A and B are shown apart, each in its own frame.
Chain A
């Protein structure tokens, strides 16, 4: 009687192609000096005998300014317009009632969007094209560009179950299938100001053609699975050169953008660090392996004088130490042991109480509390978590690591933005060392704070209004709308002032008035930056926090709407709607088809290689408190028609909704099933893949910077312990000290010999080691330095 049965509420199935309306996704991206313009095309086909409404929840880059929405049906282009969210839905709903075609694009989170294709007649197909512009993430010589493809199952805390209407746990958890019958095709074109020196994708096999300042990248595989984010790392010259752009729109309005990478000193200072580590079930597998490795590196990047603690969270949280401990040999030893045994066994993802606990810890007077969060961020209460970090921003800085193939960009970036820190993403297969070292260099070095801009006396609206702190190697990207349309004046320069550790500093960036371009890209990004600032403001998040009533309008939400409408942008308050007028109305029993999405690769430790075959029916285990749950494959894998369920109308899929207890039970069943079905030709475990030689060497370092001469170290550097001990025969001074100095010199020599390319990654810990060595009075032989002796042994072996 209702459309209720169109979504199967239990079981995890292989998608049945006839009922999956999405036929393919293609992405075309153009990267220029500081931003990317991306067009995502989704092709929907109705292969059924009645009209359908297809609903697809998909991710986009978190900073995406979605500025275009079009539908092409029967050769006709229908252009979408931006309306207030509920007005857009009304227009969509009215059109369907009339028998017209209707297309809707909603922003559910800044990184999660929902496309609805309403009233698609049998046999018809439609192409939806979503266009956005986005800033590029720059770090040093490199820039990182990503195309998210998957919305991982998200944990909904109990508080998010309240409220009226569709719960977030449902909105943000689309049906999940083992495999889906649609794939991704992707092309990226780069045209940079400086020469491109390296282009690679750590996430996908891709073909790359490079030619000076330009490059083209395409996926090697056609119709690649949408189960992991596409990531592109680019190195190119000139990224750190200050740049400024002026753009003029049709009405004479001007928008400017300024990019600047300030050169800052690299001096370090001790601080109080708390690691907040996601140990929820979804982190199982490669994600928790990455966390262990990243933590080992983090622990060794700290310097004497620091205090630290490690807090793990899931359904509950637990701290390693009752109180933060001074960073020394004993605490490092305990932490190392703790980290090696760390597992993703704490259940749901209750990040909010855990973060509150960490942020409310008593703190050292006059020292900033640095919080390092490692998570996949798969929760529904992202707004509340970001708001909490913002309220503590005065005394705690939050740095984040997004872990896994589909971590929540919004949570990971938003938390760092709100907490005045910075974010790094660790995708499976990417080297984590440079990211950890970069993050720690920022954390231990003072940043540029209190950054202000003056726009040469012009009347401007700046975005963001409050400029975030700038870290060593980080890029500041700032926009402004020039309000003086009538005078026609153009800005000539912008002056930035800031507080640095050594006092006030000033940077000037000149504009070249002869290079004003026509367009709306800068204006669009500027509007998006302002909207983001508004959407992350306490006024807006608190109005959304109370879900007891439907949404209330506030001054902030009105400003978001006004900006969105003026610049044609989607936001949390606005949606795109496109209507296809039909001469012959299509009326009939329209069925809802939620497009199933592929489970994120490596999510909760599940690997693609052990998925059940096609059309395998899974026995359902429905958890009553959670509503819906993960399921376990039945032993025989009965055919789907043989089931007594509502197979006729409800083909394929599971919806994953979680409560903490429910999720744990479900995951445990999945794991059992995975163990039972793991292929006998067991591949390398993910832990083995990630434990690189370098991490083995680094993780043996002690808090004071030295290494011990142990069998583990000898193995890690590929030498025989007895041989190394024999080399100490001529050593002078205290024998124990000589032994430790020898081990330290060997480890340093090994790093220099075998990991020279990655020197930036071990610079901090090597400095610590050299400082320790400089205080040693023992010598390997009279008149010989430890460094020389170590280098000689290392090169003798490799030569």
Chain B
């Protein structure tokens, strides 16, 4: 896969606005597909970022990992009272806004039915933001 279309785990975590631990955890939990490459895997593709942002958005909306997992995979063993895949899937695909973290304090919001830019383009955009929109330290102590 050319460099243009792949992410290292650190880049994926940064754009997703999550920690590297969270990326590994989502993979362990089957919420993210395993990375490409041997062993622990060494790179991720656009579909990983897309999925990561959706899972994160659903978690922020208060869904449990179990509900998200079921919505992602469908689960025929799930009892009737479970949130059915049918009701969750539309939310997954359209209603969820994905928030890409381009730089500290700068996010790109992309609706569920718009395709994310390629890794190369996103990297460009992120680089531009860091250069032109500096100082967005999200530490929360921006003067009280």
**Chain A residues within 8 Å of B, Cβ to Cβ:** 1-4, 6, 86, 89-90, 93, 96-97, 99, 161-167, 170, 543, 548-555, 587-590, 592, 622, 624-628
Contact = CB atoms under 8 A, between A and B. Distances in A.
Given A4-B29, A624-B81, A162 B62 contact: yes
B17 A549 contact: yes
Contacts of B9: 93
B48 interface: no
Contacts, number: 97
A99 B141 contact: no
Interface string B2-16: 000000011000000
10 contacts: A86-B21, A89-B19, A96-B39, A97-B40, A163-B60, A165-B59, A167-B64, A554-B139, A624-B79, A628-B66
Contact of A96 (B25, B33, B40, B81): B40
Contact of A627 (B17, B62, B64, B141): B64
B24 interface: yes
A696 to B, nearest CB: 48
A588 B39 contact: yes
A550 B60 contact: no
Contact of A89 (B17, B21, B39): B21
Contact of B19 (A99, A543, A548, A550): A550
A628 to B, nearest CB: 8
Nearest to B27: A2
Given A1-B33, A166-B22, A588-B39, A550 B17 contact: yes
Nearest to B82: A624
Interface string B27-66: 1111001100011101000000000000010011010111
Given A4-B28, A97-B39, A164-B22, 13 more contacts: A2-B28, A3-B28, A86-B20, A89-B19, A93-B9, A97-B42, A165-B18, A165-B19, A550-B22, A553-B140, A592-B28, A624-B81, A626-B66
B135 interface: no
B78 interface: yes
Contact of B65 (A550, A554, A587, A627): A627
B85 to A, nearest CB: 13
Contacts of A550: 17-19, 22
B56 A93 contact: no
A554 B140 contact: yes
The 7 A-B residue pairs whose C-beta atoms are closest, nearest first, are: A4-B30, A627-B66, A165-B22, A624-B82, A587-B39, A2-B30, A553-B139
B39 A93 contact: no
B138 interface: yes
B138 A89 contact: no
Contact of A554 (B38, B59, B82, B141): B141
> Helix, strand, loop or mixed for chain B's interface?
loop
Contacts of B42: 97
A589 B39 CA distance: 5
Residue picked from B10, B20, B81, most chain A C-beta under 10 Å:
B20
Contacts of A166: 21-22, 25
Interface in B124-144: 138-141
A174 to B, nearest CB: 14
User: What class of interface size applies to chain B in its complex with A?
Assistant: 35 or more
A548 B60 contact: yes
B36 to A, nearest CB: 12
Contacts of A553: 139-140
Contact of B140 (A543, A587, A622): A543
Contact of A3 (B10, B21, B27): B27
Contacts of A543: 140
Contacts of B30: 2-4
A165 B25 contact: yes
A99 B39 contact: yes
B59 A164 contact: yes
Nearest to B137: A553
Contacts of B83: 624
A624 B19 CA distance: 28
A162 B59 contact: yes
A624 B66 contact: yes
A99 B37 CA distance: 13
Contacts of B140: 543, 552-554
A625 B66 CA distance: 8
B47 to A, nearest CB: 14
Nearest to A89: B21
B40 A162 contact: no
Nearest to B8: A97
B17 A93 contact: no
Contact of A552 (B21, B40, B78, B138): B138
A164 B56 contact: yes
Contacts of A6: 28
Nearest to A55: B28
A299 B33 CA distance: 58
Contact of B60 (A164, A590, A624): A164
A161 B60 CA distance: 10
A166 B65 CA distance: 9
A588 B41 CA distance: 10
Given A93-B20, A592-B28, A624 B78 contact: yes
Residue picked from B29, B40, B56, most chain A C-beta under 10 Å:
B40
A552 B105 CA distance: 12
Contacts of B19: 86, 89, 165, 550-551
Nearest to A51: B39
Given A97-B39, A170-B65, A163 B28 contact: no
Contacts of A2: 27-30, 33-34
Contacts of A590: 39-40
A592 B28 CA distance: 8
Contacts of B17: 549-550
A628 B65 CA distance: 11
Nearest to A165: B22
A542 to B, nearest CB: 10
A265 to B, nearest CB: 45
Contact of B62 (A161, A165, A622): A161
A379 B10 CA distance: 32
Given A90-B20, A552-B138, A624-B79, A162 B28 contact: no
B64 A161 contact: yes
A164 B18 contact: yes
A56 to B, nearest CB: 15
Nearest to B75: A624
A14 to B, nearest CB: 24
A493 to B, nearest CB: 39
B114 to A, nearest CB: 22
A557 B107 CA distance: 24
A114 to B, nearest CB: 11
Contacts of B78: 624
B68 to A, nearest CB: 11
Nearest to A166: B25
Contacts of A3: 27-28, 30, 34
Contacts of A548: 60
A174 B13 CA distance: 25
A550 to B, nearest CB: 6
A162 to B, nearest CB: 5
Contacts of B39: 96-97, 99, 587-590
B81 A165 contact: no
Contacts of B34: 1-3
Nearest to B21: A89
B24 A163 contact: no
Nearest to A628: B66
Contacts of A89: 19-21
A592 B27 CA distance: 11
A93 B9 CA distance: 10
A103 to B, nearest CB: 16
B55 to A, nearest CB: 9
Contacts of B25: 165-166
A553 B19 CA distance: 13
A552 B30 CA distance: 27
B139 A552 contact: yes
A162 B30 CA distance: 19
A551 B17 CA distance: 10
